[in-house]
A and B are shown apart, each in its own frame.
Chain A
Amino acid sequence: MKLTAEEFNKYPALVLALALPVGLVLLMSIGQEVGIDLQHRLVSPNLLHPMGTDHLGRDLLVRLFMSFYQTVLPLWICVVVSSVFGTSLALFVLVLQSDYFRKVGTRIEWIVDFFDLIFGSVPVGVIVFLWSLYHEEAGIVTLMESLSFIVLIRTYSYVKNLYHCDHHQGFWIAHQSVGGSLLKRIWKYGICTYWKHRLTNLCLFHLQMVVIIESSLSYLGFGIQEPSASFGNILSSHLGVYLKGHYFVIMFTTGFIVYASIFPYLVRYLLLQNSRSRNNLY
């Protein structure tokens, strides 16, 4: 996607908001160390520490950015990969059922539907919480395991529902009657049309969901813990402090949580605006 000068002038705030992580990557690449400095704990924002310091004297901006790229980014990559796998699994099961491997397809569908029944009806936050508790270890790997599995199951279920809503439509049946393959039908009339929009919305919701679940879990003490950086553990370690007036930690941390959770929607909004402005040219 190329951003022209005209488009930048139209949406400067949006572009700046998207450029913020890039700017923070450059900031990190300068080589700022996140060392403990107890003499400068809970310092107010200044030129040296734009967002102040935390309870151990570590620069808060750097800590928050470390949370973003050490925790949020890997989870987002996990969600996108799981969404692709979930969609592929649904297509695989559907195609298998329509051909000679009907029994195999049905058995695979029973197994996945069984997991869907359990994990689809239980709140996601509770499942992730219990999974982390069961593994008895804090870290991103446990989170990635549980969240990728849940996203895979939910995407699979969503694609199957889309297929079951659409496959009775006239043009689908017409395509089938002239001997078209199911995979081609799903691709041409499903994924390349409005399924793309629906699946993108679902993926964006999952991207937002993992940020919130990860922050909540680390706040409760079960997700990513110190010294690893996470929005939740930064908030929980400062709970006793903000009531005494050091509220900038809460403000900046909650601001980052909000930013991280709406970032995918900002990207989508900009992409949609870009495609609409290009369509208007024609």
Chain B
Amino acid sequence: MIDGYPITIFILLWSAIVSVVWTFVCYSLRCRQRMIKEKEVSLLIMPSLVIGPFLLLVSYHFLSVNLILPISMTSNPLSIFLYCFIPSMVLSFSSGVFLRIKGNIVNEYLFWKRKPFCQVILSFGLSPEKNLRKLVAWKSYAEAWGQALPWFFGELIVVEGLFNAPGLGYQIWQHAKKQNFTDLFESVLWLFMIYAVLFYLIDNISRKIGRRLETYS
């Protein structure tokens, strides 16, 4: 029997990994643009109820791939992990984490590039982009996840329901439909614990970055 926790954790893991890659790709692309304008990070998000069915429709009719739990109950952990990629991408897009990372990178890059230490680096003929990479990337990453995390967990139930992925969100939905309050309470508690751990982690990363940044200003 597929347990609920691994699927939810795999979905979160995929989102974390892809968003790290996206952060560094965004940074490299943005730095190559000559004119970057500071702009407000858009709060406009696309719901998973739009992205999910669209993806299911396109994959089924045009690619002949059924994304609704295309794995058996006895599949090995690797195939379950690979399967969780699509639901995690839908969740990441719908929570707006990719868009926020992109917006934060532009704003952070422009902010730190104006600082005196960047001017000193430029005067030595070095590239400030390399020196700013870790600072801008991790700060933007932590900030974007801090903003998107509540929405991410809110949409988790919908995405797992859409793709029939038997994670914690799907279990909560099923227990709620059957009014099985004991199991519902257990699933909700596990979900809140994962949320609290991630919240604490992101908060800690932001504080550590903040403390180091105080030495720069």
Q: Which residues of A are interface residues toward B (Cβ below 8 A)?
A: 121-126, 129-130, 133, 201, 204-205, 208, 211-213, 215-216, 219-222, 231-232, 235, 239, 242-243, 245, 247, 250, 254, 257-258, 261-262, 265
Contacts and interface: CB of A to CB of B under 8 A. Distances in A.
Interface stretch (B39-47, B78-86, B119-127, B133-141): B39-47
5 residue pairs, one from A and one from B, having the closest CB atoms: A125-B154, A123-B154, A123-B150, A212-B47, A123-B153
Contact of B176 (A201, A222, A243): A222
Interface of B: 40, 43-50, 53-54, 56-57, 60-61, 149-155, 157-158, 161, 172-173, 176-177, 184, 188, 191-192, 195, 199
Contacts of A222: 176
17 contacts: A123-B150, A123-B154, A124-B150, A126-B153, A129-B172, A208-B43, A208-B45, A219-B49, A219-B161, A220-B176, A235-B53, A243-B56, A245-B61, A247-B57, A254-B50, A257-B47, A258-B50
A252 to B, nearest CB: 12
A220 B46 contact: no
Contact of A201 (B43, B149, B173): B43
Given A124-B150, A220-B158, A220-B173, A250 B47 contact: no
B54 A123 contact: no
A265 B172 CA distance: 33
B176 A133 contact: yes
Contacts of B149: 123
A243 B57 CA distance: 7
Give the interface SS of chain B, mostly helix, strand, loop or mixed: helix
A72 to B, nearest CB: 13
Given A208-B44, A261-B47, A254 B53 contact: yes
A258 B46 contact: yes
Contacts of A133: 176, 184
A216 B155 contact: yes
Given A258-B46, A262-B44, A265-B44, A216 B158 contact: yes
B7 to A, nearest CB: 18
B49 A216 contact: yes
Given A121-B199, A129-B157, A242 B150 contact: no
A59 to B, nearest CB: 21
Contacts of A216: 47-49, 154-155, 157-158
B155 A235 contact: no
Contacts of B61: 245, 247
A220 B155 contact: no
B53 A215 contact: no
B161 A220 contact: yes
A2 to B, nearest CB: 28
A196 to B, nearest CB: 15
B151 A123 contact: yes
A159 B170 CA distance: 36
